[in-house]
A and B are shown apart, each in its own frame.
Chain A
Amino acid sequence: MHSSRLTGWALQAFLLLNAIFMLAPLLVMALSAFKTNAELFAAPIAWPEQFSLDNLRLIWRETNFPRYMLNSLEVTAAAMAILLVFATMASYALARYRFRGRDLLGLLFLAGLMVPLKLAVIPLFVQLNWLGLIDSRLGLVLIYVAMGLPSAIFILTGFLRGLPHELEESARMEGASELRVMWSVMLPLARPAMVIAGIQNAVPIWNDFFFPLVFITSDRLKTLPQGLSVFMGEYNTDWGVLFAGLTLSALPLIALYVVLSRQFIAGLTSGALK
């Protein structure tokens, strides 16, 4: 969209301010990872005196970092794949068809957001135990899928509802099957919502440490936040190490996002009708 020069400058200034506001704390975090504890307390926002790798080395030495990261990647990727497929299917049904109990069903899915699943940790444990899924990555993946479905379905349904009816009607007139209408006509238009819902859910899944703490006990299956949470408990007064741990655990997701940012932007804009 184009705009007058004055509006353009005002908006640009606003966005630049916003960018500073968004980036400055991130910079503080990244820099803190390279500081000693004493330095951090003496000059928390200053540039590190020397980029000390001691904090990172400590984490590397004392935790099974690469293993944890691999586990986290596997669990998050599997959960995201299943979640997006299940959520898209359900949302499509809720948004594009009229049937009895539709609104109630939508509310049922949404209700999953209104209760802290943590409360159900004991029944969940008993159930996973019954299914033989304690100390297994699959158990975690399924919990994460269930946890992510409510918001993913809600966002996707909201977006799919807004798509014009003429598109699918004309495809049907041409004899396309329901699957074809969904796959080739409607879903491409929902890509922005899928991208947003995907990232919104990937973050809490990637960062969750509560469920792994309860359901995973073998060191070789531990996820990154879980492995680091125990480690950082030991160094809870050493903020340098703490920030190094936090930065390291955030890094994979941020790196992935930056690498895929072109696709991210493309995904976001693909819904534009013109």
Chain B
Amino acid sequence: MKRHTTTLRATIAATLFSLSTILPATAGELTFWTWRQEDRAAYTELFRDFTAANPGIKVNFEAFAPENYNTIASTALAGGKGGDVLQARAYGVLEQFAKTGYYRKLDQASVPELANLPAEALAAETLRADGAVYALPYASQTLGLFINKDVFEKAGLTPPTTWAELQSVGAALKAKGITPIANGTATAWMDEVFAGIFTAPMLGPDFVADILAGRATFEDKRFTGALAHLLELRDLMPQGYTGIDYPTSQQLFLSGRAAMFAGGSFEIANFRKQNPKLNMDFIAPVAMQQGQPRYVAKFFDGGYAVNAQSPNQEDAIKLVRYMGTKAYGDKFAALLGNISPIKGVEIADPLLAKVAQLNAVSIPYIMAVHFRFQSPTGSELLSAGLQKMFAGQATPEQVGADVTAGIATYFTPFQKKP
């Protein structure tokens, strides 16, 4: 049988081989896979430093379209190929790859630099089943409000700090023909971001703790009440907001046609590149009452993983170790405008430093951090519900009930509720 397949294989291969090309893996060369094409220049520089410190190891940068990255990476890994070091996602997606055995387990023995990272960051790249870390985390993201300072200044207004101020400032902006909030609801995943931002101060850490312990579900008054408040923002959003997608929202903010944009710190570098003259600020979402804490929602983006089947294990580990050093973190933050979670990293950029400061008063971005491990994910359920709610097809209570019912299919604490 074996012989037969070999002959068959040889015959087919021989007939097809003439035009095909295979690139053999060259020793001393690593391939880095990522979905961040826009980071090419920064990584080229970071890898140059690595090669300088490790002569003889060159790193090639390979970027793939983000919406197809998971499929491409899992397909290649299933076929025993793929980059030597791969940019990995966090939480549920990380678990899928790690569980299948595609990523190499990292520990303090092989990568002592793991000690440079806070537990919270490592948790995002940990497989809960075995408690092992499978990727070295590279960035945290914070969700908050972008402010176009010039627009506010020209309108003679100051950015809001409370819900009431948000309403009055919004009305004043509108009177001057400026859209107060750039966000629309046409792009589903952005709706979760939008809700995550404005509801964070209303929910606070107690609510998150209650959910995880099963003391509350998403039918809780605190949650549905927060969703109901979101509906008050409809007046401040662009005309036809149900048809306004993510790129349009970004564009409205970048061009100064809108004064605020609810989004993540991952936009900062992109916004600067798109409009270098943009005078922006990043602030925490407004509190319901003056003096209450203004929580931001925070999560970890992803990490660097080693392909378990890579023939260049030793070099790949060297690269990941380098990516866990403070020197790397400093340069990463400076070049990519993202917050590296590596301890002691210095952030020179004032806006980024401010984001880091906001992180001190934060809650986890709840669906991403806790309910993206199984289908239907909390994110899918919530964003679908929010879109219906904004279109007037569902009440906040219905959204809360749908989210709870969906999550209850696998989250046992919710199942106990009658």
Q: Which residues of A contact B (CB under 8 A)?
A: 37-38, 41, 121-122, 125-126, 129-139, 142, 209-210, 213-214, 217-218, 221, 229-231, 233-234, 236-239
Contact = CB atoms under 8 A, between A and B. Distances in A.
Interface in B240-257: 247, 250-251, 254-255
A125 B251 contact: no
B250 A234 contact: no
B19 A233 contact: no
Contacts, number: 85
A231 B72 contact: no
Contacts of A121: 71, 75
Contact of A138 (B9, B16, B75): B16
A233 B16 contact: no
20 contacts: A41-B251, A121-B71, A122-B75, A125-B75, A125-B76, A130-B9, A131-B12, A131-B13, A132-B13, A132-B22, A134-B79, A142-B16, A213-B64, A213-B65, A214-B71, A230-B65, A233-B37, A237-B247, A237-B250, A239-B247
A230 B35 CA distance: 9
| Among all A-B residue pairs, the 10 with the closest Cβ atoms | A136-B20, A138-B19, A234-B38, A125-B79, A237-B247, A234-B37, A129-B79, A125-B75, A229-B65, A230-B37
Contacts of A122: 74-75, 78-79
A44 to B, nearest CB: 11
Contacts of B79: 122, 125-126, 129, 134
A129 B37 CA distance: 26
A221 B21 contact: yes
Nearest to A219: B62
Contacts of B71: 121, 214
Contact of B66 (A209, A233, A238): A233
B65 A129 contact: no
Given A41-B251, A236-B247, A134 B81 contact: yes
B274 interface: yes
Contact of B20 (A126, A139, A237): A139
Interface size class of B (residues with CB under 8 A): 20 to 34
A38 B17 CA distance: 50
Given A125-B76, A129-B79, A214-B75, A231 B20 contact: no
B351 to A, nearest CB: 19
Contacts of A132: 13, 16-17, 20, 22
B81 to A, nearest CB: 7
Secondary structure at the A interface, as helix, strand, loop or mixed, is helix
A129 B78 CA distance: 11
Secondary structure at the B interface, as helix, strand, loop or mixed, is helix
Nearest to B247: A237
A237 B251 contact: yes
Contacts of A133: 16, 20
Contacts of B9: 130-131
A213 to B, nearest CB: 6
A130 B6 CA distance: 11
A238 B255 CA distance: 12
Contacts of B360: none
A127 to B, nearest CB: 9
B68 interface: yes
Contacts of A209: 65
Nearest to B35: A233
Nearest to B62: A217
Interface in B9-34: 9, 12-13, 16-17, 19-23
B162 to A, nearest CB: 31
Contact of B16 (A37, A131, A230): A131
Interface string B68-95: 1001101110111100000000000000
B123 interface: no
Contact of A129 (B12, B72, B80): B80
Contacts of B78: 122, 125-126
A231 B80 CA distance: 27
Contact of A136 (B19, B66, B75): B19
Contacts of A217: 23, 62
A230 B64 contact: yes
B335 to A, nearest CB: 16
A132 B10 CA distance: 10
Given A41-B255, A136-B19, A214-B68, 11 more contacts: A121-B71, A129-B80, A130-B9, A134-B22, A134-B79, A136-B20, A214-B75, A230-B37, A233-B66, A237-B247, A238-B274
